[in-house]
Amino acid sequence: MAQINWFPGHMQKARREVAERIKQVDIVFEVVDARVPESSRNPMLLSMLNQKPRIAILNKADLADPNRTKQWLAAYEQADQPALAIDAQHANRLQQLAQMATTQLADKIARKKARGIKTPHIRAMCIGIPNVGKSTILNRLVHKNIAVTGNRPGVTKNQQWLKAGDNLDLLDTPGILWPKFEDQEVGMRLALSGAIADTVFNADDVALWGLTYFMQEYPARLRKAYGLNDADMTLAPHDLMAYLTSKLGFGEEYDRMATRLINDVRKGELGRYTLEVPTAEAEHADTE
């Protein structure tokens, strides 16, 4: 995972580089984390695309709440935006990507065929914030053989196209954009799911935010993981945090409990979860 300290100069450079490379592709695969589909995207990408077709890839779907993933896919469909939920680590559903890109670019492909090109190639690239799984997707898609080298006009030096299917070529390096976490809630979601470096946020705050979220949305998971009863669940979040700290043997060392809770969430000890829903009417995610 690339550790990038995003400062304004860095952002501008990333933006320029990504914009330049978008010009070279027919379609963009925007990779997001299925547990935080909205918070793990950089909204600036939309304007950078300049009408270029896009497929949203909700990666790490194996860690996300399947019901909420369905809701997200339905929301994308309603917005006429092709989207695919995958588990890149196990190459789950990844093969659908080439087919979806072909469908989306049907007109362009037909025009190329009419001009005599027998098997028009689709050129694509992955774009996303750090740690969403861009490289994993690339590695899974690519059959290791390099399709075209970058030595031609308009193609950045040393950049290569990798063959990802009979008619799909991928740029060898993904486009990296910065996470946008000026909004505190977005920051908390990204921190809790491990999408941003631990140094950026205060672990106590993230843990308390996470505990509050799970108390509201996934209470049954908390009960099960930490052996909590009805009365425990009526405590205020910070009281429950204090209770858990002593219950789990950390005495009064709240920071150790905070770290434990964050790690448990990230490792999936509290089950599969998604920290945001596409509509305002969020419902409790689990039933007790």
Q: Compute the least distance from the CB of residue 131 to ligand GTP, in Å.
A: 5
Region of 165 (left: φ > 0; alpha: ψ -120 to 50; beta: rest) is left
CA distance 256 to 247: 12
* 187 annotated among ligand-binding-site residues: no
Contact between residue 259 and residue 203 where contact means Cβ atoms under 8 Å apart: yes
**Both tokens assigned to 187:** 């920051």
Task: Compare residues 45 and 257 and give the one whose CB is closer to ligand GTP.
Answer: 45
Binding flag, residue 1, ligand GTP (CB under 6 A): yes
Query: What residue type is 11 in one-letter code?
Result: M
Contact between residue 154 and residue 123 where contact means Cβ atoms under 8 Å apart: no
Task: Compare residues 175 and 187 and give the one whose CB is closer to ligand GTP.
Answer: 175
* 142 annotated among ligand-binding-site residues: no
Q: Which stretch binds ligand GTP (CB under 6 A): 108-116, 123-131, 217-225, 251-259?
A: 123-131
Binding flag, residue 280, ligand GTP (CB under 6 A): no
* 61 annotated among ligand-binding-site residues: yes
Instruction: Name which of residues 142 to 181 contact ligand GTP (CB under 6 A).
Output: 174, 176
Task: Compare residues 177 and 285 and give the one whose CB is closer to ligand GTP.
Answer: 177
Q: Among residues 21, 41, 60, 163, which is the contact residue for ligand GTP, using CB under 6 A?
A: 60
* 132 annotated among ligand-binding-site residues: yes
Binding flag, residue 130, ligand GTP (CB under 6 A): yes
**Both tokens assigned to 168:** 């799909």
CA distance 207 to 188: 9
Task: Give DSSP secondary structure letters for 152-219.
Answer: STTS-TT--EEEEETTEEEESS-EE------SHHHHHHHHHHT-S-GGGS-HHHHHHHHHHHHHHH-H
Tell me which DSSP letter residue 74 carries: H
Binding flag, residue 88, ligand GTP (CB under 6 A): yes
Q: Among residues 35, 41, 56, 128, which is the contact residue for ligand GTP, using CB under 6 A?
A: 128
Binding flag, residue 136, ligand GTP (CB under 6 A): yes
Q: Which residues sit at the interface with ligand GTP, rule CB under 6 A?
A: 1-2, 59-60, 62-63, 87-89, 128, 130-136, 174, 176
